């Protein structure tokens, strides 16, 4: 049975036509892998919620407004990430806006907020790290937390045209990014599973020898690749998948038949 299903999955990888790829047998793939790449991040709820609550204490520290607004944004992101994966009863409490209704902020505060969430800002770098390494729900939630706060700050900074424009634009960009992260979640998780399986195949080859590594490479990595190519449509990423598979195959093929003792 495993051989038959593997043949079907391999066919899904080989065929480029979208209609053919929709026949990917997800249930069978999950069963063969022994895990579901699309598992939720709910098991991280307690850790993420506790981290958000601990960091939130920093908001009570006396500091200039320009410094406090950056801390506030960081806490907003962490709370957003936790609330995205936690049930309501376990979620950290919502964060009150930095600026009250109709409040006008000083330009230095507005500039500090815009700088922290700019492309090179520390909060955007934190978000980039989440997008690269964490569950997509966490990354999308972090972005949501920033967006909600940025929109409020933009209103409070309306009198400072340049800062207002930057804050409003960053809010729109991050909102679209959060939506894209959610839409592409299945693709992201299956592609990560494929990358992890390639690393496992390489480890098997190093520890058990070339034959064992190549045998593993034709199993789980191919299953995860079938899922990725069903769910991911970006040409560059798809080409990179095949390149990484071929590179892994080349590396394993060059390994000794038996591992050195």
Tens digits of residue pLDDT in 207-243 = 999 999 999 999 999 999 999 999 999 999 999 999 9
Shared-domain flag, residues 65 and 95: yes
Could you tell me if 80 and 169 lie in one domain?
A: yes
Q: What is the pLDDT of residue 16?
A: 43
pLDDT at res. 3: 53
Mean pLDDT of 232-256: 95
Q: Among the three residues 183, 202, 234, which one is the final residue of a domain in this structure?
A: 183
pLDDT at residue 124 tops 90: no
**Per-residue pLDDT, 1:** 42
- For residues 115 and 207, membership in a common domain is answered with no
Residue 158 and residue 67 share a domain: yes
- For residue 23, the model assigns a pLDDT of 63
CA pair distance 258, 261, nearest whole angstrom: 9
Locate all alpha helices (DSSP H) within 184-234, ordered by sequence: 185-208, 210-217, 220-231
Q: What is the pLDDT of residues 25-34, one digit of tens each?
A: 889 999 999 9
Domain edge (last residue) among 122, 150, 183: 183
User: 107-145 as b/e, with b when 16 or more CB fall inside 10 Å?
Assistant: eebbbbbbbbbeeebebbebbeebbeebbbbbbbbbbbb
Q: What value does the mean pLDDT take over residues 8-22?
A: 46
Do residues 206 and 243 both lie within one domain?
A: yes
Domain termination residue (choose one: 161, 183, 205) = 183
210 vs 18, residue with greater confidence: 210
Residue 52 confidence (pLDDT) above 60: yes
Identify whether 210 is part of a domain: yes
Question: Residues with Cβ < 8 Å from 64, sequence gap 6 or more?
Answer: none
Domain identity same for 179 and 193: no
Q: Per-residue pLDDT for 17 more than 80?
A: no
Q: pLDDT by residue (tens digit) across 113-123? A: 988 887 778 88
Domain span at 197: 2-36+186-253
Q: Is residue 260 part of a domain?
A: no
In the chain, the number of structural domains is: 2
Predicted confidence band of residue 132 (pLDDT cuts 50, 70, 90): very high
142-174 pLDDT, tens digit each: 999 999 999 999 999 999 999 999 999 999 999
Mean of all residue pLDDT scores within the chain? 89
One domain for residues 169 and 142: yes
- Per DSSP, the three-state class of 96 is coil
Looking at residue 144, what is its pLDDT? Answer: 96
Q: Where are the alpha helices (DSSP H) in 57-184?
A: 65-85, 107-116, 122-133, 136-156, 161-183
Q: Are residues 138 and 93 in the same domain?
A: yes
Per-residue pLDDT at 26: 87
């Amino acid at each position: 049975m495993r051989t038959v299903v593997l043949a079907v999955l391999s066919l899904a990888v080989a065929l480029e036509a979208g209609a053919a790829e929709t026949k990917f047998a997800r249930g069978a793939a999950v069963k063969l892998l022994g895990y579901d790449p699309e598992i939720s991040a709910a098991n991280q709820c307690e850790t993420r919620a506790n981290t958000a609550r601990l960091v939130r204490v920093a908001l009570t520290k006396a500091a200039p407004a320009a410094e406090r607004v950056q801390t506030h944004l960081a806490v907003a992101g962490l709370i957003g990430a936790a609330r995205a994966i936690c049930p309501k009863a376990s979620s950290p409490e919502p964060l009150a806006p930095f600026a009250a209704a109709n409040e006008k902020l000083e330009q230095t505060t507005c500039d500090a907020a815009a700088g922290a969430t700019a492309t090179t800002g520390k909060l955007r770098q934190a978000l980039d790290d989440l997008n690269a390494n964490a569950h997509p729900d966490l990354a999308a939630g972090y972005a949501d937390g920033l967006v909600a706060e940025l929109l409020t700050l933009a209103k409070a900074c309306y009198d400072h045209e340049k800062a207002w424009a930057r804050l409003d634009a960053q809010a729109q960009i991050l909102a679209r990014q959060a939506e894209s992260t959610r839409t592409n979640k299945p693709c992201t998780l299956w592609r990560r599973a494929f990358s992890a399986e390639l690393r496992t195949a390489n480890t098997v080859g190093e520890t058990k020898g070339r034959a064992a590594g190549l045998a593993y490479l034709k199993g789980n990595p191919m299953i995860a690749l079938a899922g990725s190519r069903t769910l991911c449509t970006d040409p560059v990423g798809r080409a990179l998948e095949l390149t990484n598979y071929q590179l892994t195959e080349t590396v394993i093929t060059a390994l000794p038949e038996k591992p050195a003792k």
